[in-house]
Amino acid sequence: MSGLEKIADNLAFGGRQQQWLHNSEALSCRMRFSVYLPPAAEHSKLPWLLWLSGLTCTDENFSHKAGAQRLAAELGVALVMPDTSPRGEGVADDSAYDLGQGAGFYVNAEREPWRGHYRMYDYVSQELPALLRRHFPLNGRCAIAGHSMGGHGALVCAIRRPQDYVSASAFSPICQPTQAPWGRKAFAAYLGNDETAWAEWDASLLLAERGCPLPLRVDIGLADAFLAEQLRPDALQQAARRGDTRLELHRHAGYDHSYYFVASFIDQHLRFHARHLLA
């Protein structure tokens, strides 16, 4: 049983901004997610965008800060926002902000003490979508997007499971985590010290090896303090060129890593996805 429980429901642009709890088998804990259902959801099943948030975030950051509901209501596209990691008593954690609860990295952990709960890839790519299709007015057309760590997760999901999505996009993604301090720390903890195993979770390496048939969009702020050391978008661009992948890489002068950046360009991302979701 999913143990699905609604804990918040607010009217927004004629639709419903909701927050839910359920029992996750993949993560062995109670999980929270948010969903925005446009007005059209009252009479039909809608296409939807799965949004993956970044380090330290929860399911609420995007719904509170991005300002996506207005255009989502106009387009008739639902928004789904899971939490970034398992949480709760008995779930492994770390005192650092970039490991443990709030920093699940959308991988399937293989090492203790993480492996019992930290299977975020299985959760966002399989368990949560199945639950959503059972209980919400969503159809089979899904796009995926995210920010920072969540941008990494969105790209990895799209490359590994292109059959599940019509398009993918990312703001400020960690494009080559095997070569970035955030990624190397998380991968060593969750996956172990064998770096050859990390390649399955690196968007740039995956794209170079497999290519991706989906249209991809990535936006980067050139004033992002993490750009050179952590994000490494040039690696993703080079991988896309080798694999003849349709990648739109947009660089924006003056913008940083914050949700001010996300809010500034979220309409462009929603319209990018709507072209494919509503085709």
Q: Where are the domains of the chain?
A: 4-278
Query: Rounded to the nearest 5°, which phi and psi values hold at 225?
Result: -65, -20
pLDDT of residue 279: 86
Among 18, 276, 226, 259, which Cα is nearest to 147's? 259
CA quadruple 83, 215, 134, 13: dihedral sign: positive
- Residue 139 near residue 46, CB atoms below 8 Å: yes
Among 190, 185, 179, which Cα is nearest to 238's? 179
Q: Which residues of 88-127 are buried (b: 16+ CB within 10 A; e: fewer)?
A: eeebbbeeeebbbbbbbbbbbbeeeebeebbbbbbbbbeb
pTM (2 decimals)? 0.97
pLDDT of residue 269: 98
pLDDT of residue 88: 93
- Here the tokens at position 238 are 């080079």
Among 153, 146, 208, which Cα is nearest to 177's? 153
Q: Which of 59, 219, 224, 273 is catalytic?
A: 224
Q: Which of 152, 257, 269, 273 is catalytic?
A: 257
Catalytic: 34?
Answer: no
Q: Which of 148, 167, 169, 172 is catalytic?
A: 148
- Residue 153 near residue 124, CB atoms below 8 Å: yes
Give the integer Cα–Cα distance in Å for 85 and 100.
8
Residue 151 CA, chain-centre distance (Å), reads 6
Q: State the DSSP code for 250.
A: E
Catalytic: 257?
Answer: yes
3-state SS, residue 239? helix
Catalytic: 93?
Answer: no
Per-residue pLDDT of the chain in tens (279 residues, 90 and over written 9): 589 999 999 999 999 999 999 999 999 999 999 999 999 999 999 999 999 999 999 999 999 999 999 999 999 999 999 999 999 999 999 999 999 999 999 999 999 999 999 999 999 999 999 999 999 999 999 999 999 999 999 999 999 999 999 999 999 999 999 999 999 999 999 999 999 999 999 999 999 999 999 999 999 999 999 999 999 999 999 999 987 799 999 999 999 999 999 999 999 999 999 999 998
Helix H or strand E encompassing 8: strand 5-12
Q: Over the Cα atoms of the chain, what is R_g?
A: 17
Overall size of the chain counted in residues: 279
Geometric angle at alpha carbon 76, from 78 and 250, rounded to 5°: 75
- Residue 10 near residue 16, CB atoms below 8 Å: yes
Give the integer Cα–Cα distance in Å for 124 and 128.
5
**For the domain bounded by 4-278, which CATH number is listed?**
3.40.50.1820
